Amino acid sequence: MTREGTAAAPTYRARHPVAYLTYPGADAAHGLGRPPGPLGWLPQHALGHLPLRPSVTATLRSEDNPERPAGWVITLPLTEAELRAGSARATRTILRAVGRAQALGARTVGLGGRMAQATAYGRALCGMEDVGVTTGGAYTAALTFMLIQRVLRHCAAQTRIAVVGAGTGIGQGVATLLARHTAHPLLLVDPHERPPRELQATVATGRAQTTAELLHVHTCGLVVVLGPAASGLRAAHLGPDATVLDAASPRVFWPQLLLDRPDIRIVDAPQAGVPGIRHPGRDTTLPTCLAETLLLGLSGHEGHFALGDPTPGQAQTMLNLAARFSRLGFAPAAPQSFGTPVTLNRRFEQDTPAGADRREQTRRGTGTWPALPLASTTP
């Protein structure tokens, strides 16, 4: 076994069904995870006082093999507070849900939302031998890279790319994929996670520079924002006409930025578009961890995958699998800027009628933009 319990030489067999563990409210944007019947209307805090068991709330099918389930969504009667605290009840419920997944026939289980945090990002389950576990971080890195590729089509050939938060597992994956698959100069920025020399060794291409100072970001035309290391990034750090891919959680930049810096373009974190997977949700997007879990099942991957921080090798594996199953649409969904669909060859908000209306509403204080957070905290 390698670091974080990942198999040194993963094996691939015939595709198998998977299970995705979630909890009420975690995946509301995708229309998944809501308990059936009257239970779906209960407030979250009531869940901890009822003798409920994990329940199957959705069956997933792939368009190339609709006769057999591709997987199941299992909703756990847990609250976000319980998962954040890693309570004993949360642990017992997660183990019970994994057992339910195995009984259904799932051989890979994805831990959605806070589920990963409650299990030390899957490491608490690495001793399981009959089922593989993954947390979605590797596909997040691959998906972010795929969206960067789209953005780069509308940038100059030698646009310098800053990866802010390059010391995180996802940041290392993004930086490595950029180094392998593009010719753009890179600036790897991380003031907290790892020393600059270690970051440069991660990429080892000779064209990547590293720094712990955010002030150098102004030299980059494309800024990729990842992880808590980017929380100190401000508009003053951005160069003229820069494009920002804000994939941090919570996000770093908000619509008010465009009032002071109309030259800046903001792209939201990518959503996982998988139109070839049928599910009862509202659209064709899926939680990133669920997309990763499905790819592992479709490829027949055996054993655990992304436990703890994802590795650059795992990000590359996800990129390869997304290409292999591209017929099902594993790719970033249409890009958005502050939740509004945008095109990448124009000046985002200020060049679209809807964007212009929203900018005017923001200026007047009558808009419906998300409120600014009172503080920047790490979930």
Q: Where along the chain do the CATH 3.40.50.720 domains lie?
A: 145-270+336-364
Residue that wins the pLDDT comparison between 25 and 63: 63
Cα atoms in the 13 Å half-sphere on the side-chain side of 79: 13
Q: What is the layout of strands, in order, in the sheet containing 272-273?
A: 285-286, 272-273, 331-332
Q: Please, which residues bridge with residue 223 across strands?
A: 162, 244
d(CA 269, CA 313): 22
Per-residue pLDDT tens digits for 208-242 = 888 889 999 999 999 999 988 888 899 999 999 99
| DSSP string for residues in 280-305 | SSSSSEE-HHHHHHHHHHHHTB-S--
pLDDT at 352: 45
Averaged confidence pLDDT in the chain: 83
pLDDT value at residue 113: 80
45 pLDDT above the threshold of 60: no
Contact present, 296 and 132 (Cβ < 8 Å): yes
CATH ID of 145-270+336-364, from 3.30.2090.10, 3.50.50.60, 3.40.50.720, 3.40.50.300:
3.40.50.720
pTM as predicted: 0.84
